[in-house]
Amino acid sequence: MLQLILGGARSGKSRLAEKLATDTRMPVTYIATSQPLDGEMNARIAQHRARRPAQWALVEEPVALARVLRENAAPGHCLLVDCLTLWLTNLLMLDDPEQLSSEREALLDCLATLPGEIIFVSNETGMGVVPLGELTRRYVDEAGWLHQALAERCQRVVLTVAGLPLTLKGTAL
């Protein structure tokens, strides 16, 4: 089963995804896309680490997400990817503009063949003010297109607001 958990900053999306992963009663591999580039991000990463069960495996990969999914997906196993918008940011910041397109397509192409449970977490960024800068507008556009493509492929899509899940597609929580 593929699931996409969307929400704004501090909406409870990661906490919900972690609960869903725990509820599978399967071994879980947490795939972290963030990079500890500053003190604030280090604090966010520490908060996520403290909340996760110690027995969960961890893979840190900021760019090659499709490769990591193929390497770690298995029957009876749950992968939790947190988060897609950080992954997108990492790709947008690379010197090679074609890598975003190739990594995005690799991700979308591999989803139908992956065994086990996969839970994606991502920030819903397109519900606010349109950003002024070119790069931030591109980020919002790319995130929106990625979310639409993933939502088509996922069996469940949930929007989380104020810690409350709203099921947009699939079985309600």
Residue 120's φ and ψ, nearest 5 degrees, are: -105, 140
- 95's tokens: 């010197």
Q: Which of 26, 35, 45, 48 is catalytic?
A: 48
Known catalytic residue at 77:
no
User: What is the rounded CA–CA span in Å between residue 5 and residue 13?
Assistant: 6
For residue 21, which of 145, 131, 119 has the smallest C-alpha distance? 119
User: What is the rounded CA–CA span in Å between residue 131 and residue 120?
Assistant: 25
Please list the active-site residues: 48
